[in-house]
Amino acid sequence: MNSSFIFRALSAPLLAFLALLAPAQQRGDGEIMRSFVSTRGTEVVTKRTKSRRNRPNTIGLGYTLFMKNENGYPARVNASRKFREGNAVRFMIESNVDGYLYVFHTENDGPPKMLFPDHLSKRGDNRIKAHVPYEAPSRYVKNRPEGLWIGFDEKEATERFYIVVTREPLPEVKTGDGLIAYCRENLEKCPWQPPASVWSGLLAEAQAPALVSQSRTSGQTQTRAERIAANRGVKVIRDAPAPSVVKLSKSPGAKMLVAMVALDHK
The Cα 135–Cα 153 span in angstroms is: 22
The Cα 172–Cα 179 span in angstroms is: 11
Task: Judge residue 202's burial from the number of C-beta atoms within 10 Å of its C-beta, 0-12 exposed, 13-18 middle, 19 or more buried.
Answer: buried
Q: Which pLDDT belongs to residue 124?
A: 92
Q: Which pLDDT belongs to residue 41?
A: 76
Helices (H), 138-208: 176-185, 196-206
Per-block average pLDDT, block size 10, for the chain (266 residues)?
37 42 47 90 50 67 95 92 95 97 96 93 92 89 70 94 98 96 94 95 96 89 92 90 95 94 93
Q: Give strand pairing partners of 94.
A: 62
Q: Which pLDDT belongs to residue 142?
A: 61
